A and B are shown apart, each in its own frame.
Chain A
Amino acid sequence: EAQVTQNPRYLITVTGKKLTVTCSQNMNHEYMSWYRQDPGLGLRQIYYSMNVEVTDKGDVPEGYKVSRKEKRNFPLILESPSPNQTSLYFCASRPGLLHYEQYFGPGTRLTVT
């Protein structure tokens, strides 16, 4: 089944404790991105990647890191999480440049205390 998977689905952590949220897609998509969703603000892009080893900042990159060492995986790293990073996070992928339809993962609800 074609899908985007994220892990963990739920995470409660404390300020400053490094964490990684994994994202994987099995559709051989070139383009992947991370979003955060907060009430009333919709979806805001954190980082995106156009292909392996090619990443760029989205609208709200501060406090986040990403890497794209393999085409299928695009982990999101929070080196020192803070309470303002409490949010619902979505990973998404799309086939490539001429294909705009995005496929979203199920989401990761992160709480930083």
Chain B
Amino acid sequence: GQQVMQIPQYQHVQEGEDFTTYCNSSTTLSNIQWYKQRPGGHPVFLIQLVKSGEVKKQKRLTFQFGEAKKNSSLHITATQTTDVGTYFCAGGILDSNYQLIWGAGTKLIIKP
């Protein structure tokens, strides 16, 4: 079936280091969204990418959508303690405007 693989499952970084999480879909996506879930919290929408090759930035966060619309990445430059949490991607299924397929998430842990 359709699935989105997200790696890594966990990433430990020192504060100030960069962080990247990747999502790869088995099928072409109509769009991809990214969410952040703080510990004990609920997922919060960060951004949506729709166009092939699209790159968007939010301060220290850079989001990319691949040319084939099958992969995406989120890169955080110079991590801060406020970045701690789990980052999820969710891809829109091409033939359905209602359904999303979710990656399993990457947990960002800042080493003290």
Bitwise interface map of B from 21 to 62 toward A, beta carbon under 8 Å scored 1, else 0:
000000000010101000001111100100000000000000
What chain A residues lie within 8 Å of B7 (beta carbons)?
none
Q: Are A104 and B43 in contact (CB under 8 A)?
A: yes
Q: Does A2 contact B (CB under 8 A)?
A: no
CA A112 to CA B107, docked complex, whole Å: 27
Q: How far is the CB of A35 from chain B (nearest CB, A)?
A: 8
Q: Does B85 contact A (CB under 8 A)?
A: no
Q: Does B88 contact A (CB under 8 A)?
A: yes
Known A106-B42, A107-B42; contact A42-B98, beta-carbon cutoff 8 A:
no
Q: Are B9 and A40 in contact (CB under 8 A)?
A: yes
A31 in complex: contacting residue of B31, B88, B98, B102, CB < 8 Å: B98
CA A90 to CA B41, docked complex, whole Å: 10
Q: Does B92 contact A (CB under 8 A)?
A: yes
- Total contacting residues, chain B, CB less than 8 A: 22
Q: Are B104 and A101 in contact (CB under 8 A)?
A: no
Q: Does A97 contact B (CB under 8 A)?
A: yes
- Total contacting residues, chain A, CB less than 8 A: 21
Known A97-B98, A100-B33; contact A40-B42, beta-carbon cutoff 8 A:
no
Q: Are A104 and B88 in contact (CB under 8 A)?
A: no
A48 in complex: contacting residue of B44, B98, B103, B105, CB < 8 Å: B98
Q: Are A97 and B97 in contact (CB under 8 A)?
A: yes
CA A90 to CA B42, docked complex, whole Å: 8
Q: How far is the CB of A66 from chain B (nearest CB, A)?
A: 15
| Nearest A-chain residue to B31, judged by Cβ | A100
Q: Does A50 contact B (CB under 8 A)?
A: yes
Q: How far is the CB of B9 from chain A (nearest CB, A)?
A: 7
CA A45 to CA B6, docked complex, whole Å: 17
Q: Does A73 contact B (CB under 8 A)?
A: no
Q: Are B104 and A42 in contact (CB under 8 A)?
A: yes
B102 in complex: contacting residue of A43, A100, A105, CB < 8 Å: A43
Q: Which residues of A contact B (CB under 8 A)?
A: 31, 40-45, 48, 50, 90, 92, 97-98, 100-107
